[in-house]
Amino acid sequence: MTTADRRPRVLSGIQPTSDSFHLGNYLGALRQWVALQETADAFYCVVDLHAITVEHEPKALRERSRVSAAQLLALGLDPDRSTLFVQSQVPEHPMLEWILGCETGFGEASRMTQFKDKSAKQERTTVGLFTYPVLQAADILLYQTDRVPVGEDQRQHLELTRDLAIRFNGAYGRTFNVPEPFIVSETATIKDLTEPEKKMSKSSSGPRGCLYLLDTPNQMRKKIRSAVTDSGSEVRYDPESKAGVSNLLTIYSALTGTPVEKIESEYHGKGYGDFKGDLADLVADSLEPIAKTTKEYLADTAELDRILAKGAEKARSVASRTVAKAYKKVGFYPPVSM
């Protein structure tokens, strides 16, 4: 296969910091991960190393890593078409992070806005949280990644990654691909069901505002029916004055592929009750199979762990070559195979 024929390599990761992914994760990113398997050499990672930058319970973290992987498989990630692994099973991640950390200026790391935001919410701020973007850079550069699917909140971290790759290559000779951002078109941004001016998030949403993929169908229906709209009754997309119903229209459109304008026309003359009732059924019917398949994977943890171990071996076959190259460039002894 020539370089021109090679599929571009992409890498994405998600933290196992919750018992379930939420609808915003699915419609905003994870559904696109599945689609990228068709056109890219895709590496997908459950980033449990990143998850310990905040306080955690070890047993819960291990279980959440499994649940995260099971959900990704249930959503359609195919371990024969992509590489799915848990970050901590590939020790090359922290090995490369140390080298990149020694190339990162203190001022560069201090300017990362996510560190400022997250440290402001925590009583105890760790060095791990401070160097989080450097580990993220190692995640990306380990796999000679060509493209990184990013949202606006991660663009600054990708720029640091690019800067570090260019700096290292300039100092020691070409070692890393310099990755490009990959903005997925038509990605839905899902808002909180009770505070639609905020993005749906497990950390900021109340129990009714965040719709989880592993909620029961009744829980999903209840959350949709009780979602905030406004004092009117017209089903119309207007994020400024009708943020709640606009969010629900976005969800409906994203799940069905129907343009918002067509949905508006279908509910012309009808009230919120009809619209929310139909959407509640749509959400429950769309997500229930994901929850069911996730439970099937979790029912056989030995097989799930086998899939993840196989993915980690495949990831290490790439990551170990990159680390060996970087070690040689900086003057280290070569790492001993584990």
Concatenate the DSSP letters of all residues of 206-222 into one string. -TTT--BTTS-HHHHHH
Give the pLDDT score at 2: 44
Backbone conformation region of residue 173, classed left if phi is above 0, alpha if psi is from -120 to 50, else beta: left
Backbone angles phi, psi at 91, to 5 degrees: -65, -10
Q: Which tens digits make up the pLDDT trace of 31-52?
A: 999 999 999 999 999 999 999 9
pLDDT confidence tier of residue 1, bands split at 50, 70 and 90: very low
pLDDT confidence tier of residue 120, bands split at 50, 70 and 90: low
Backbone angles phi, psi at 9, to 5 degrees: -90, 130
Lowest mean pLDDT among 65-74, 130-139, 201-210: 201-210
Mean residue pLDDT of the chain comes to 92
Q: Which tens digits make up the pLDDT trace of 192-231?
A: 999 999 999 887 667 899 999 999 999 999 999 999 998 8
Which own/partner contact pairs does 332-338 have at CB distance under 8 Å and 24+ positions apart? 335/95, 338/91
Q: Which tens digits make up the pLDDT trace of 308-336?
A: 999 999 999 999 999 999 999 999 999 88
Residue 3 has pLDDT above 70, yes or no: no
Is 118 among the residues known to form the active site?
yes
Q: H or E stretch including 180?
A: strand 180-182
Tell me the residue type at 304: L
The DSSP output letter for 300 is: -
What span, in angstroms and rounded, lies between the C-alpha atoms of 75 and 109? Answer: 35
Can you count the helices (H) and strands (E) in the chain? 15, 5
The angle that helices 301-330 and 58-75 make with each other, rounded to 10 degrees, is 100
Is 314 among the residues known to form the active site?
no
Nearest to 226 by CA among 181, 189, 277, 267: 277
| List 116, 191, 202, 242, catalytic entry | 202
Looking at the DSSP bridge assignments, the partners of residue 181 are: 148
The more confidently predicted of residues 126 and 117 is: 126
Nearest to 234 by CA among 287, 271, 191, 274: 271
The pTM of the whole model exceeds 0.85: yes
Is 199 among the residues known to form the active site?
yes
Tokens 């086998």 locate to: 306
pLDDT confidence tier of residue 150, bands split at 50, 70 and 90: confident
DSSP alpha helix (H) spans, 226-271: 243-256, 260-266
pLDDT confidence tier of residue 284, bands split at 50, 70 and 90: very high
| List 59, 116, 121, 199, catalytic entry | 199
Exposure on the CB side of residue 114, measured as CA atoms within 13 A: 18
Percent of the chain clearing pLDDT 70 (strictly above): 93
Give the pLDDT score at 8: 96
Q: Strands across the sheet with 9-14, in order?
A: 82-86, 41-46, 9-14, 147-149, 180-182
Tell me if 304 sits within 8 A of 70, measured CB to CB.
Answer: yes
